[in-house]
Homo-oligomer: A and B are copies of this chain.
């Protein structure tokens, strides 16, 4: 069997499994999630051994310690992954929810009801916890999952999926509800991106390069996730202490995530008061400023690392302690800057001016707009969704953190009594 044939087979198996998942009761799905969680813990030794092979290969390839850490599974991490599945079992089932329901003058009863998407393909990088998290969310929402992890985690993913499939079978569900896409070549991604009609949606999770290649190469519909060039705008009417806390938290609380801030814009009227304290606090965290001419003297005075800002910096998602920064003369100027450079993830305004807030919120078109809060809150867990499959930065279907509801479609069910059109 060629790789293309193998992947087509996997897609057809997923479609077949999706038929029985679509009408499965919540109790059945939740029982399967708990059975899988038990199986993952029971088979810890097998999974950790498979993971050790991936880790050894990565170490021999000279992979960085940070990436090795993201790749590594140990019994504690595996237990946490299993517990997350049990948490998903506790969440309400999105399937069957009636979103609209009404009766027309002619007596036709119309209901719009949530149904699964069908077959969901995930394309993602190193972290093996995504393999289980994504499979669990797909199962709960009645979707068959096709998982295409990175080649560096291949042995781990093979082991995790085998254990999950055993769990499915033990719970009386089709094994093909969760499948690993065979092969680790780039072609296997290409075949998946061409499987329109067999795969209902692809969700890429990872770096900007991966996401761009899937978005541009796929004829299967794609949900674009995660690239975050997030801005914090400190308005003339900002509370200084809140503004300092928010930029420090947004930039430094965790730098390697999409909802970390990458750009600071400061209103000229508050620069003199705000910047010395803010830059001191950022310096303490080890931040480097990529600044414009107006902010340079403040950086020099504060003794913080400084580099002249470039066009690339304004567009950059640094994933590091680097921060682009500039001074603007109005909220409108901040909005213009954000429109030009944002990736559409999250932007924050710090202000006590109702009119400045209103202007900012109405004119900044990103998945999330924070008013006097850290950009780091754009997250399914923080928003109370209970789970997150990714953060959409596109406008179609889902925008912002995606939970179970965002893994569904709808259908209209129309009940008549012999109704025909006149």
Contact = CB atoms under 8 A, between A and B. Distances in A.
Interface of A: 19, 22-23, 102, 104, 108, 110, 112, 115, 117-118, 196, 200-201, 215-216, 219, 221-223, 239, 241-242, 245-246, 248-250, 253, 339, 361-363, 365-374, 376-378, 382-384, 394-397, 399-401, 409-421
A414 B379 CA distance: 12
Nearest to A246: B420
Nearest to A253: B421
**Number of this chain's copies in the complex:** 2
B221 A374 contact: no
A412 B378 contact: yes
Given A221-B396, A420-B246, A373 B411 contact: no
A368 B377 CA distance: 38
A368 B419 contact: no
Given A376-B421, A414-B373, A415-B372, A201 B396 contact: yes
Contact of A420 (B253, B369, B384): B253
Nearest to A366: B411
Given A221-B394, A221-B396, A399-B410, A418 B117 contact: no
B374 A239 contact: no
Contact of A363 (B22, B219, B409): B22
Given A19-B363, A369-B412, A399-B410, 17 more contacts: A19-B339, A22-B365, A23-B362, A23-B363, A102-B384, A104-B383, A118-B365, A201-B395, A201-B396, A215-B219, A223-B396, A368-B412, A372-B419, A378-B412, A395-B409, A396-B396, A399-B411
Nearest to A419: B373
